Amino acid sequence: MKSLTLKAPAKVNYRLDVLRRRPDGYHDLRMIMQRISLCDEITITLSDMPGIRVACGREGVPDGPGNIAWRAADALLKLSGRQSGIDIAITKNIPVAAGLGGGSSDAATVLLGVNELLGLGLSTERLMEIGVTLGADVPFFVFGKTALAEGIGEILTPIEAVPPLWMVIVNPNIPVSTAWVYGSLRLTEGRIGDNIPRFFKGVADVCAVLSNDLETVTISKHPVIGEIKEMLIASGASGALMSGSGPTVFGLFPSEEGALEAARSIGEVSGWFVTVARALV
């Protein structure tokens, strides 16, 4: 049986500006999105038995059509008119409902993997178009580079110069609903968003853009997020920010040693999910 095993990386947002609410209910955003080395692992296997089967085995993540990876495979099968069976096994390492884009990354990885396994020959652009029908962050993961993301997240411009950096990822194990965060956000009328630089020479340049409009909303409900930011800075991070709609916080470090040391000290006292990840370039 033809089979592929792929890594599905998480992301963090170095920047997240919410510009306006759109008539379709989505929001126009300006984001800087960075893939990181914390990954789910996905094995996709073609089968003679028609149908799509997802095995994930993580509490809170559905195995059937409720899984966004299932819907990604279904979208490609429908488009191609093929009758193949597809088995998808997901090893979930990325915290769920955490602001790290785990589900979107799984979906993008399935789009890329099924396209290859079935020899569909769909372009990256076409897969991104299919991706945005599944979720606003899916095109970014298909794109596969650090990017400025605009629109609802589907208009992507690559950011080429990204310095090597490490981050400590801290998730206090509180699931946060993205819909609740956007629903609770007070928007500033006429916001156009600042100019966002496209070149980052060093960690200081990345720290200069760190900002997330959703942070105050999520912190108002979960003040621990603010405490985690302070702990990261006190442990030597050059900057710290909540990712996406939260609650995960990342702290940036110019060296792996510094990140490992901070992760050790925060992990020891907290009992939270704490890991060190590299920015992927």
Among 14, 36, 101, 259, binds ligand ATP (CB under 6 A): 101
Q: Which of 40, 87, 137, 213 is catalytic?
A: 137
Of 99 and 172, the one with the shorter C-beta distance to ligand ATP is: 99
Nearest in space to 90 (alpha carbons), one of 112, 68, 116: 68
Binding status of residue 9 toward ligand ATP by CB under 6 A: no
- By CB under 6 A, tell whether 147 contacts ligand ATP: no
Any contact of residue 245 with ligand ATP (CB under 6 A)?
Answer: yes
CB of 27 to ligand ATP, least distance (A): 12
* Selected binder of ligand ATP within 37, 178, 211, 265 (CB under 6 A): 178
DSSP 16-65: EEEEEE-TTS-EEEEEEEEEEEEEEEEEEEEESS-EEEEE---TTS-SST
Which listed residue (9, 15, 17, 106) binds ligand ATP by CB under 6 A? 106
Among 15, 17, 36, 103, which residue interacts with ligand ATP (rule: CB under 6 A)? 103
Kindly name the residue from 11, 17, 40, 213 that is annotated as catalytic. 11
> Least distance to ligand ATP from the beta carbon of 193, Å?
19
Nearest CA to 112 out of 7, 252, 207, 188 is that of 7
Is 255 annotated to bind ligand? no
Residue 275 binding ligand ATP, by CB under 6 A: no
Say how far apart CA 34 and CA 12 lie, in whole Å: 5
24 is catalytic: no
Point out which span in 99-107, 111-119, 205-213, 214-222 binds ligand ATP (CB under 6 A).
Answer: 99-107
Interface residue with ligand ATP, options 36, 88, 98, 112 (CB under 6 A): 98
Peptide bond into 163 cis (omega under 30): no
Could you say which of 9, 102, 113, 254 contacts ligand ATP (CB under 6 A)? 102
Residue type at position 254? P
DSSP SS3 for 136: coil
Strand-strand pairing, 3-21 and 27-47: antiparallel
Task: Report the residue closest to ligand ATP, judged by CB.
Answer: 103
d(CA 219, CA 226): 6
Q: Is 11 a catalytic residue?
A: yes
Question: Which residues lie near ligand ATP (CB under 6 A)?
Answer: 60-62, 67-69, 90, 96-104, 106, 137, 178, 244-245
Residues belonging to the active site: 11, 137
Q: Cite the annotated binding site for ATP by residue number.
A: 95-105
